[in-house]
Every structure is written in C-alpha cells, then in structure tokens.
Structure 1
Amino acid sequence: MRRLRPVELDFARSAPLRLVFSARLDAPPPAVYAALAEDTGGWARWFTGVARAVPTDGGAGREVRLTGGTRFLETVLAAQPEARYTYRVDRTNAPGLRALLEDWQLTPDGDGTRLRWTFAADGPGPLRLALLLARPGLGRAFRVSARVLDRRLARANSGS
C-alpha cells in the first residue's frame, strides 16, 4: 500500500481526469444516502466489484477491497445527509494513482433520487488514458449497481 496525495472537495471539479455518471433511482434521497454513508458493509451487496467494505475511525474512514484484490483506505470528506457523500483514497495498492476522490451527489427527482457519481483521479498519462478507455465499463458498472441498489431499497421498504 502506498500513500496518495491528499486532496480536498474541490478536486471533484479540478482533477486532471473526471468521469461523471448519473442515474435515477426510485428510492428517495434519505434511503439512498443511508445506503451510501451509513451501511458501509452493504456496498459489497450492491456495488459491482466491491468484495468488502468496512468503516474505520468511527465512520470517518473506510477500508474497501475490490474483487480483483485492489485495496483502498479512505477518508470521508463530506457526509451531508440526503445531499452528498464524498471520500478520498489515502492509501492503495493500485498502481499509478497519485490521487483519487469519489463524490456522490443526491438530488430529489420527483419521488426518487438523481444520483451522480464523480470519479476524480490523477496519475501519469498512461493511467489517465487507461481510465478513459475504461469509462464505458465503469459507466456500465455504475448503472448496474444503481439498479441493484434501487431494487434492494425497494425490497427493504416493502418489508421483504
């Protein structure tokens, strides 16, 4: 595991590479926010590629393991109920990354939620190119994950 450059919230707008994805969920913002920010362990049940996620430092951080063995130690930078959940990666075993921040924004959309995920990264040119080429796959993973999350929240709300 190596240490990445610490970045702050503005990196979501200023990163050399920004990949932004959006989806509409039928679930209301409080339920979506709770899944993102309060049920850290639940990420492995709905987000494609997450094998394990646990809170650290009393919820101020997270440790995430992906199915391929990549690990992230993260610091939560923003936890604004029903509006925003943002974290940066402090340490990882992923090669090439210099900085990484993920910003989840929630906006009411009728009875549901518009969920926007910004993947903001910095690294050498070849890594940025590889991430750009991976954009369609990341977009698919986000859309599938959003649908799975929405179904899970609907089941939880119906009591099944």
Structure 2
Amino acid sequence: MKKILLCTLLATFLISCNGNAQKKSDEGSSKNYEVTKSEAEWKEELTSQEFAVLRKAATETPYTSELLKVKEPGTFVCAACGNELYKTKNKFDSGTGWPSFDRAIDGGVAYGSDTKLSYQRDEVHCARCGGHLGHVFNDGPRETTGKRHCINGVAMDFKPEKE
C-alpha cells in the first residue's frame, strides 16, 4: 500500500511539473523597461558572456566571478545599464559559488518566474533594462530577510564607495 501511495504521489508531482514547464510565466520578457534595445544592440554592447546571462538567462559557472569575494563597501550595478542593484553590506557568503545578497536596493530589481528546470523559480531582473540577474530563494540568513538573491557576477559591475 505504501508503494502504491508513493508511486501515485510521485506521478502526480511529475505530471504537475511537466504541466508548469509548458507555461510561459516570465514577467521580465513582457514588461516595458526604461532602457530597451534590440538584440543586435545588446550583442554589440555586451561581452558574449554578459549577453548570454543578461539577455538569454544563462547561468555562469559557479566560483568564477571576480565579484564573489568583494567585501569592500560599495554598490553592485547592472552590467548592461548601470542601474544600482545591491549594496555590499547586504552581501553574504552562501557557499553556492555565486554572489549572494539578502536584499536588493529598493526599486533596483524586478521579479518574475521561470520554469526552465520543470519547476517554478523566482527570477530576478534589472528593474531598468530587464536583464536577467539570477534567482531568489528562501534559504538566506534567518536573522535578516531569510532570502538569498543568487546573482550571476557577470551580470553586475562593482562601484566602490567613494571616501
């Protein structure tokens, strides 16, 4: 009986995931952003890796970002449009291999969702140009927001705080 119940639950889960994978629920692609450019313009302005992540929602290889170890005070900005996204004071080492933050700068990011892995994830976009930054998970520091903004380093530039 336990095997039948387990098989039924597993089948239901797989069917529901498969159904969600067919839905287009990415709000980032349908929203009008302040900075809009053609695909050709973005390709001309961004490196191939920046274009893949910011415009095609790719993911950089973990532990490859120069921004992973940045601890000095400053602001992380969108590599495509310069929009302010995150402050160093909200950065933490998540051990995942990507820069992680417990919160964004107010108005800096927009949220959508994707089902590329056959389940829904909360996606983070630049609020100014719509560039894909990464995802938000509910396994961040409990003493702050409980959120982990897992962000591709190639999608950002770092501006040190002026003294």
- TM-score higher than 0.5 here? no
Higher strand share: 1
Counting helix residues as a fraction of each chain, which structure ranks higher? 1
TM-score, length of structure 1 as denominator length: 0.30
- The structure whose Rg is larger is 2
